[in-house]
Amino acid sequence: MNIGIVNDLPLAVEAMRRAIALRPEHRVLWVATDGAQAVDFCVAQPPDVVLMDLIMPKFDGVEATRRIMAQAPCPILVVTSSVGANAWRVYEAMGAGALDAVDTPTLADHHLADASQPLLAKIDQIGRLLEKPVVTPTPRAAAAASRGAAPLIAIGASAGGPGALAAVLGKLPANFGGSIVIVQHVDKAFAEGMAQWLDSQTELPVRVAVSGDRPRPGEVLLAATNDHLHIARSGSLDYISEPASTPYRPSVDVFFHSVVEHWYGNAIGVLLTGMGRDGAIGLKAMRAKGYLTIAQDEATSAVYGMPKAAAALDAAKRILPLGSIAGELMASVK
């Protein structure tokens, strides 16, 4: 992969160069030392992935991510000195279109190969996400305990998702009658923090989903592991490792298909901004079952990948700008 590095600290740049050099299939395409330069480089020489720092001159990594996704969209991985210490900025960058985040490897570590593994693993994961479509099993008919339950709002999102989710959830009232389950492509290390951040953006309570949970009216549950969230035959939520081959973890398609298979109450499928195709096939299955399906439109998507795939499959009954999705949900949940 051709990789662009955006960082103004020479030691950090050198650490990333040495990490990338451990893999002959990767090479550093360019190094930008501020956000404005990063945007110019992405327009002139689009890389396969950008390693984006958060704190830089001119404008920070969040704004750089936002401008890159508007002018020359490409995969962006936040690489910063401490993801934990910069969690809120990380979520802002992901809301602007970044795919994931990882700590910067350091030259001080005597075992460079070990210190480089988290970064290289994230780069590999992004490579798989861009190259391989999701293959999901055909849903089977099954009994379920969800008849008569509150309407289930199943939401899938990826790059740009945190901001889009905050925009939708922030417009829903505290007495919203639907139960909401979200599958956002996010590493399990960030899921708890993201749930807390989303909780601060809406009147609805937001928390991570744990095995055995049942969707409840007025509550938002967020998938929180690198396994796939799904609705079990009993109507409760659980995590499963299969399909293991999918680069999307957790997978929106897996969750949407489980709704079709095991949820017998009313449901609405929503597919927001994201890179790739995850969720499109599952949304198509939801529409085929008679559920209302919604996809975010191109103009308001940070990354028009997943919603575009859904539109191409005619999976979305409604294609709406981000600002109209909450209103559609409120009108549909009585």
Catalytic residue among 146, 158, 179, 301: 158
What angle is formed at CA 326 by the lines to CA 320 and CA 328, rounded to 5 degrees? 60
DSSP labels, 265-333: S-EEEEE-SBSSSTTHHHHHHHHHTT-EEEEE-TTT-SSBSHHHHHHHTT--SEEE-HHHHHHHHHHH-
- The one catalytic residue in 185, 228, 230, 257 is 185
Does the annotation mark 257 as catalytic? no
Contact 218, 176 (CB under 8 A): yes
Active site residue 278: yes
Q: Is 185 a catalytic residue?
A: yes
CA 40 to chain centre: 26
How many of the other CB atoms lie within 10 Å of CB of 127? 17
Say how far apart CA 333 and CA 135 lie, in whole Å.
Answer: 31
3-state secondary structure of 246: coil
One-letter amino acid at 293 equals T
Contacts of 236 (CB under 8 A, 6+ apart): 211, 212, 213, 214
How many whole angstroms separate alpha carbon 65 and alpha carbon 109?
A: 29
> Catalytic residue positions?
158, 185, 278
